[in-house]
Structure 1
């Protein structure tokens, strides 16, 4: 699977679709989580019962399989990092997304969907039932009293389970490639050794939580949606939606974005020094499927 994801990322679909035909994403990371990982039950308690477990998501796509053994399932997750050029543009921004960032949000996510479909196709061609949960008809968000809008399948929480990173103050996932990333996943009826998680704390890679310092993402947020108390999803979402007219007027396509909290911060392109021992080795030292 790692080889397939890397090959697809090197292909012609991974593009910003602008005049320069630049790559949307850099080299990916891939990790694996066991379908019966206790974290998935914990997510139902912590995030809410609406959040799908891997077996639930696969059953929605393949009801003909009947009762599924979660121990025979794997969640395959990947991290798609913003390119150095996109990050550099974003660091200079103070209110609206630069064109590269807006393109990565729209066209880069279209590629992410392509990646999901191709991974599913490859697995099923090899005889393994598979599904990309965020592409299922029932996928969406649920309005919760505790967290506001909450997804039925959180790519961030899947990547956390797969050893790919921990959460920051702004709710973004801080990975060995940083926080300026997009995430994707597929669940499949195939047993793959899980990627070790070199952390127990969900905020292990965030300087604010780990050391009581930083807070740079608070200063970067143009919406006032970040504070020491965390991330106001509704303020954030409203601001991102309000960028649509700007993107259309300045860049000539229907899009939106922000992501300023992901750049110009110590965790932009990696785990802050001293917080991520063992993180890269656990991801790159294993080949699977």
Structure 2
């Protein structure tokens, strides 16, 4: 069932971007699986949110959580390199990808139903406490559990295809073998103390080597909302993702390839 589920997700993304009204194009999704009994769920209240949920809060007979990273194309992310505010293309990608994730989750729910299993969908975003700015379901942490990548200094999940993209997750009663979590760092700073370009690229002084001011970050997102009203509600920034070594690849893995053999 794992291969079939991965194929369903890949096919959905491929078909979705072929629609004439869609302007965003994506790469092939990275899909991972985590057990609903993954021990790290019990640790999320201390690392993500004090009220972070577990899969069975949503689906009592949950067995598996499917996570997927949908990468953006390089030509789109390049549009977001200059100026303080996010580009129109980046904002549209955010809006269109969130909607695609919603439709993909509904498609997965129907697909698993045909297979005789239940499913539960979770929005791609806007499921947080607007005062504390923390979420009760972190797609990024779920994706880490599912072996899709590891966290960077920019708090994003760095995958084999980088961190420029969107993450979604889906809960099902189907029991599917979990994937192994990343054991290695994917962030150059965490690996050997170099880079820190994401800190330099933060346009609102929200990201530092030793801390992250989520309120200053959100302040920038709201500025971009006002700046891009014409395309919809794009509470997004992305400056700490684009133009960095981890934008579209795992820079640690790439660096290891170039190191001389002993």
Q: Same fold (TM over 0.5)?
A: yes
Structure 1 position 238 matched with structure 2 position 213: no
Q: Deviations over 1:192-216 (max 9, x none)?
A: 111112316xxx2111222111110
Matched, 1:2 2:3: no
The partner residue of 1:225 within 197, 201, 206 is 206
Q: 1:45 deviation in Å?
A: 3.8
Q: How does 1:246-285 map to 2 (within 5 A)?
A: 246-248=227-229, 252-256=230-234, 257-274=236-253
State how 1:52-63 maps to structure 2 within 5 Å.
Answer: 52-59=53-60
Question: 1:13·1:111 contact (CA, 8 Å) conserved in 2?
Answer: no
Distance 2:255 2:12 in 1: 28
Q: How far off its partner does 1:261 sit?
A: 0.7
Q: CA 1:263/1:52 → structure 2, altered by over 3 Å: closer, same or farther?
A: same
CA displacement 1:80-120 (0-9 Å, x = unmatched): 001121112123x2311112111011122111111111111
Q: Does the 8 A contact of 1:14 with 1:111 survive in 2?
A: no
Q: Confirm or deny: 8 A CA contact 1:14 1:108 kept in the other structure.
A: no
How far has the Cα of 1:275 moved from its partner?
Answer: 7.2
Cα deviation for residue 143 of structure 1 reads 7.0
Distance 1:16 1:224, change over 3 A: farther
Distance 1:25 1:269 in 2: 12
Q: 1:163 to 1:135 in 2, by over 3 A?
A: closer
Counterparts of 2:56 and 2:224, CA distance in 1: 37
1:141 is aligned to: 128
2:153 to 166, 169, 190: 169
Q: CA RMSD in A?
A: 2.4
Contact 1:130 1:187 in 2 (8 A): yes
Seen in structure 2, the aligned counterparts of structure 1 residues 14 and 212 have a Cα distance that, compared at 3 Å, is farther
Q: Output aligned runs, 1:102-113, within 5 Å.
A: 102-113=91-102
Q: Who is 2:177 aligned against?
A: 193
Tell me, which stretches of 5 or more residues in structure 2 are unaligned? 257-262
Q: Which residue of 2 aligns with 1:62?
A: none
1:51 aligns with 2:75: no
Equivalent residues of 1:155, 1:183 under 8 A apart: yes
Aligned counterparts of 2:153 and 2:124: Cα–Cα separation in 1: 28
Q: Across the two proteins, how many residue pairs are aligned to each other? A: 251
* C-alpha separation in 2, matches of 1:165 and 1:253: 31
Kept in 2, the 8 Å contact 1:15–1:107? The answer is no
Correspondence for 1:63: none
What SS class does the counterpart of residue 26 from structure 2 fall into?
A: coil
Q: Distance in 1 between matches of 2:109 and 2:97?
A: 19
- Mark the CA change 1:42 to 1:223 in structure 2 (over 3 Å): closer, same or farther: same
Aligned residue number for residue 283 of structure 1: none
Q: Distance in 1 between matches of 2:118 and 2:188?
A: 40
1:177-198 CA-to-partner distances (Å, cap 9, x unmatched) read: 1011100010101111111123
Give the C-alpha shift of residue 126 in structure 1.
1.4
